[in-house]
Amino acid sequence: MIISVASGKGGTGKTTISVNMALALGAGVELLDCDVEEPNAHLFLKPVIERSERVETPIPLVDLEKCTFCRKCSAICRFNALAVVAQKVLVFPELCHSCGGCMAVCPGGAITEIGRELGMLNFGDSNGIRFINGRLRVGEAMSPPLIKRVRAARDLDLITIIDAPPGTSCPVIAAMNGADFILMVTEPTPFGLHDLKLAVEAVRLLGIPCGLVINRADIGDNKVFDYAERENLPILLTIPFDRRIAEAYSQGRNIVEVFPEWRERFVALFRDIEAIIIEEKDKAAACANL
């Protein structure tokens, strides 16, 4: 089971929800921090990092002695990562999406591949909770390949909770695509509602069931609640604007550890998600048998 915790905007509490749900469930769970540009789940889960792994992506290397300067490589590249100028082939590594198309169309076999560093994967454990995060190399613009590597390292026998990046762009899609459920975290403010609408549209394009957690639920107005009702989005958990919770967060402490009564609420959140996933799979099976 893969649950991706996402949001339309930053600062809504994705990491708080991800970490506390993982802690409430305990052993048998893994947390993947796919917010590779600014990972912070480790600050709250406090895992012991057991090993790190460098992640590279292939980019073209052109042998000018074999190259006929036919320009087929630059013609096929949709991202303009290659340019043929006179008797030279210019490669722009930051633009390359590592598709291998240039190497496939080269008639003279002049193109091979070398590795370019994307970032690091870190593997750890926190009291039986498996932890993986990605950390993008400073200056690197291509985060989706690293996010995919984080996801590829998951354990198929564990419940997977993904802490996704904020927004609705390519990194978020890489963290959500293929999940069994998207848990959207929002807040009842105009900005929260605006970005929630964008995120829900993206999730519906992916065809993945989703539900809401409303953080700081007693500030702002009721427009997020009204939107959820209109769009038939289940509100699975509300968290009040509580100074004690904010103080615990500022100290790097977790809700389920400071307030034990919240542990059952996060377990109930998971059970509700599990029930929705089972219901959706039963519907899909029924439709397939028609």
- Beta strand 2-6 pairing with 159-163: parallel
Digit-coded pLDDT (tens) for 243-290: 999 999 899 899 999 999 999 999 999 999 999 999 888 888 888 777
Instruction: For residue 133, give the 3-state DSSP assignment.
Output: strand
Q: What H or E segment, with its residue span, contains residue 198? A: helix 190-206
Q: What is the pTM assigned to this prediction? A: 0.90
> pLDDT over 90 for what percent of the chain?
86
181-214 per-position pLDDT tens digit: 999 999 999 999 999 999 999 999 999 999 999 9
Q: For residue 89, what are the β-bridge partners?
A: 84
Domain borders along the chain are 2-47+119-288, 57-116
The burial class, CB within 10 Å (0-12 / 13-18 / 19+), for 222 is: exposed
Note the CATH architecture for domain 2-47+119-288. Answer: 3-Layer(aba) Sandwich (3.40)
Find out if CATH 3.30.70.20 is the number for domain 57-116.
yes
Q: Mapped to the 3 state alphabet, what secondary structure does 44-95 carry?
A: HHCCEEEEEEEEEEEEEEECCCCCCCCCHHHHHCCCCCEEEECCEEEECHHH
